Amino acid sequence: MAAIFYTYAGMKFIIFIGLAIALQTSIIFHVYSLIGYISTKKMDYFRLFMVTAVSNMLISIAIATVVMLDQKIVSGINMDSILLLESGLLFIYMMTIKIRVTLVIIKRVRDPKNYHFSHFGKKIYNTTVVDFKEVITYFVTFPFTMMAGAYFIVKIIK
């Protein structure tokens, strides 16, 4: 099995899978930058949107070129391994979102302007500690994180 990766066809297959993963990652950053630009109107998000648009086109052209050179690459794809990679990447992306939201909330909790002390010496947090969009993001991504993580872990264990 390991000998296939040392052949020319095996290397093209690895390049194809690497380009597919790069395209998926670029599309996720593309959607992220689009949402960021629409919600904040910052030019940084627009620049990232344009860069990811160009990278999506270039990676797609590279994938099409690899497939045109050897059509057997597409027929040789093992869907179980692709689903394992996809579920693993989706799980990692969703966990990254959750960790980022959690770290932003923890940063706000530690900021003294977001809480005050009661008469009994207890901290009382303001409602500005947690933003509504963060709560929605956290709970909307929860089912996808659980499904992708469960599939990924079960496939790894098997």
Q: Is 116 helix (H, G, I), strand (E, B) or coil?
A: strand
Please say if the pLDDT value at position 8 is more than 70. Answer: no
**Domain ranges across the chain:** 1-76, 78-158
Query: Which residue intervals of the chain are DSSP H helices?
Result: 8-40, 43-69, 72-75, 79-110, 132-157
| pLDDT classification of 1: cutoffs 50, 70, 90 | very low
Q: What is the pTM of this model?
A: 0.65
pLDDT 10s digits, 59-110: 999 999 988 888 888 877 777 877 888 888 889 988 988 999 899 889 988 8
